[in-house]
Homo-oligomer: A and B are copies of this chain.
Amino acid sequence: MRVAHGRIRVVTNERFETLDITGRVQGWLESINGRSGIVTVYVPHTTATIAVNEAEPGLLNDIVDLLKQLTMPGSTRWKHNRIDNNAHAHLSNILVGHSAVIPVMDGRLVLGTWQRIIFIEMDGPRNRSVHLTFIGE
């Protein structure tokens, strides 16, 4: 049993953007030769978030639209917007979460047919990073 840490850089170009980072997480797993255990995919940010779902372009659009719809209407009353105009992005992170935990077997992420690891930018463009931790064998 062992622990391995890694970090991948994510550059976003729009205020709202989704990026499929599955290949990069799988690539990192292979680079450290993780065979069996779990990987945590952790976003050290408060205005971006991470999900595991289908990377169908229409759906990626819908995800951002849903988060806007839930967190932006009435946003003039968010107190955080007196300081910074991004309460919607913080609130989206609260709803979707800051991390994903994914099992690993035989050196592969255990993903269902349609599952992809999706980084969701809600306050870009920014230079972001994703912290990866493998625990296992």
Contact = CB atoms under 8 A, between A and B. Distances in A.
Contact of A83 (B56, B94, B115): B56
Interface residues of A, number: 61
A58 B81 CA distance: 8
B133 A44 contact: no
Interface stretch (A8-16, A19-27, A46-54): A46-54
B36 A62 contact: no
Contacts of A78: 58-59, 62, 65
Contact of A3 (B37, B42, B115): B37
Interface string A122-137: 0000000001010111
A62 B44 CA distance: 21
A36 B80 contact: no
A79 B101 CA distance: 28
